[in-house]
Amino acid sequence: MIISIETSTSDLSLTLLNEETVVNNISIPFDNKLSEIIVPTIKFFLKDNAISFNDISFLAVGCGPGSFTGIRAIISTALGITISNSQIKSIGINSLAGLAMSALYEAKILKLKYIISSIDSKKDDLFLQLFKINNTKNKSLPIVATSDIDTIKIEKLYNYIVVNDINLKDVLFVGHQSNLAKKMINNLNVSKNLIQNPDSLGIGKLASFIISNKIGVSKTIYEFDKLKPIYARSAQINLK
């Protein structure tokens, strides 16, 4: 079984998957006491689903970009869990890719070609990344990044679309300030998901796809076998 964890914004989100089937998913708002509640919350979540760490094979973690505190706390916790439970393998996932994964079904229904994921940087701008939807039926990744992580202000979103040479009608925007993006850009497709923040569900689905199809770390920039934070700013973007 796989448990996925995401804390790069304002919620502690947990998802339990049995291969690619979602068993349970919860999100809990947290404050500065995140480091104190992570482990008890995970243990309660497992107990509530009648399992323990012994039943977990993979731990998937949203590694950012996003809240420095949240990312640092969850990676430290995940490392502790894997050290104490040697059978659990860890996978770090780019949170922007996980957010795009959460909107993938919606984008396919609308027959769109691209997804722009947006995460609050907490510095009056956005972390953005552009993904192309892979509609092939082979075991390739369902989304492919066509840009590095950028930091821009919402007012520059239309220019971002133009610079990346994509047609406005072909893209779905998901994430932070989606309502404002819709007001600012006529005819922009905006995700109708109730959750517009990175969520463990998207992280878990992407991790499950990678695991099930045995996609190696060397074949994707979204997965890391050694957990590490993605701290992205305009002056320094770390995806290596």
- Ordered structural domains, the chain, with CATH: 2-95+198-224 (3.30.420.40), 96-190 (3.30.420)
pLDDT at 240 over 90: no
> What is d(CA 92, CA 227) in angstroms, rounded to the nearest whole number?
5
Give the rounded distance of the alpha carbon of 181 from its chain centre: 20
Structure tokens at 126: 């956005």
What pLDDT, in 10s, does the model give residues 33-44?
Answer: 888 899 999 999
Per-residue pLDDT tens for 20-31?
899 999 998 887
Q: Return the sign of the alpha-carbon dihedral for residues 194, 196, 198, 204.
A: positive
Mean pLDDT of the chain: 90
Beta bridge partners of 127: 119, 151
Q: Which residue has the higher pLDDT, 49 or 31?
A: 49
**What secondary structure letter does DSSP report for 233?**
B
Q: Is 225:212 a contact under the CB 8 Å cutoff?
A: no
Strand partners, 155: none
Q: Which two tokens stand for residue 175?
A: 């994430």
C-alpha distances (whole Å) from 155 to each of 5, 9, 96, 168 are 31, 21, 20, 15
222 — pLDDT class (breaks 50, 70, 90): confident
Name which residue leads in pLDDT, 171 or 235: 171
pLDDT above 60 (res 161):
yes
Residues 174, 116 contacting (CB under 8 angstroms): yes
pLDDT above 90 covers what percent of the chain? 71
